Structure 1
Amino acid sequence: MADKLTGRTVAFLVAPEGVEQVELTEPWKAVENAGGVPTLVSTDSGTLQGFNHLDKADTFTVDTTVDAVTAADFDALVLPGGVANPDYLRTVSDAVDFVKGFFEAGKPVAVICHGPWTLVEADVLRGRRITSWPSVRTDITNAGGNWVDEEVVTCTAGPNTLVSSRNPDDLPAFCEQLVGVIAESGDPVVPSPS
């Protein structure tokens, strides 16, 4: 179990502030515990501010910026939630293009809570079955997605596999599913020489 993701690098795309901390840290630990390499990608270098709902939590060091990488550099993408996090990301064209690249390349994407707002902006939800925090339902539906209220949803009706969950209570099922989907997604990306 500890080596399911050996050789795989997983991007975690997060805004400079507003991410729901547990929706970043629990999937991150799941990737690490399965032998994968999580990479913190943001719109700005330096550190980012996590939140526990509306209260400031810990800060995290950004590994790379979204303008310096593409989907080709990673095996999968995780989009944590938090209200402000995806709302900001959807306004940054490099972030939206980065997300869209995973769909175009057929690579797994896992998203939780308010995270689908970035997917709405990337226009990648048409015909896709997905769940989220209830307030995102109308946006998903308007973007052509099929919203359902389930703990975890895995949709393969598109160019890639899309894993989604509703909120932090769903994290155990979400983390298990995202690790399984990434493990089954084909050969790991071979890093380009520096």
Structure 2
Amino acid sequence: MAVNLKGKKVAFLATDGVEQVELTEPRKALDQAGALTEVIAPNAGAIKAWKFKEWGDSIRVDKTLDAVHASDYDALVLPGGVINPDHLRTNEKAVRFVKDFAHSGKPIAAICHGPWTLIEADAVKGRTITSWPSIKTDLTNAGAKWVDRQVVLDGNLITSRKPDDIAAFSEKIIEEIADGKHLKAAS
């Protein structure tokens, strides 16, 4: 039976340097499941994606951080890449947006280096999380329990390690939004 996420809105928070497949592939899966997905960025126009070892495509920004609130969405996805979350975690509006999601209890999904922004939003303490291995120490220093698994669900947080995990990551995001457990708790 196919999952239908019609009526659900999912924000993808990203900026220049986002790992292209970590945004485009989960977005495609959510769109196919019926969700409305929007790319949220600090600035209007387009962001330049990173494609493994070189610059990739431009991705259209749907809305800027100035125009959105966590209450507008049912879930948040934080794609990785190194450059993208490094810039977002120093952007006060981006951190506030993630903090608001964390306080709402709605699903937040982060892959690769995406959890860097969760650290800055003070959303990892006491949580079991996975990520790209190089940020393991950052996560443990922030109070998270780091594990090396394809996908980890801890409460409303869904995390994955790398592009090879995208299918499992996307499936878990869809499952958690469809379940509605966190969405009901956030109401």
**Paired amino acid for 2:114:** G
**How many Å apart are 1:94 and its aligned residue?**
0.3
Partner residue, 2:41:
42
Q: Deviations over 1:128-172 (max 9, x none)?
A: 00000000100000111110000000001xxxx100000000011
1:89-123 deviation per Cα after TM superposition (whole angstroms, max 9, x unaligned):
00000000000111111100000000001011111
Could you tell me which residue of structure 1 aligns to residue 12 of structure 2?
A: 12
1:33-182 equivalence runs, <5 A = 33-156=32-155, 161-182=156-177
* Higher normalized helix content (fraction of residues): 2
Contact 2:70 2:101 in 1 (8 A): yes
Paired with 1:126 and 1:94, the residues of 2 have a C-alpha distance of 21
SS at match of 1:18: coil
The equivalent of 1:192 in structure 2 is none
Give the 3 Å change call, closer, same or farther, for CA 177–187 of structure 1 in structure 2: closer
8 A contact 1:7–1:188 mirrored in 2: no
Q: 1:153 to 1:188 in 2, by over 3 A?
A: closer
What is the number of equivalent residue pairs in this alignment?
184
Superposed CA deviations along residues 13-51 of structure 1, whole A, max 9, x for unmatched, are 001x10000000110011101100110100000011011
Superposition deviation, residue 188 in structure 1: 7.2
Runs of 4+ deviating beyond 6 Å: none
Counterpart CA distance in 1 for 2:80 and 2:167 is: 15
Identity of aligned residues (%): 53
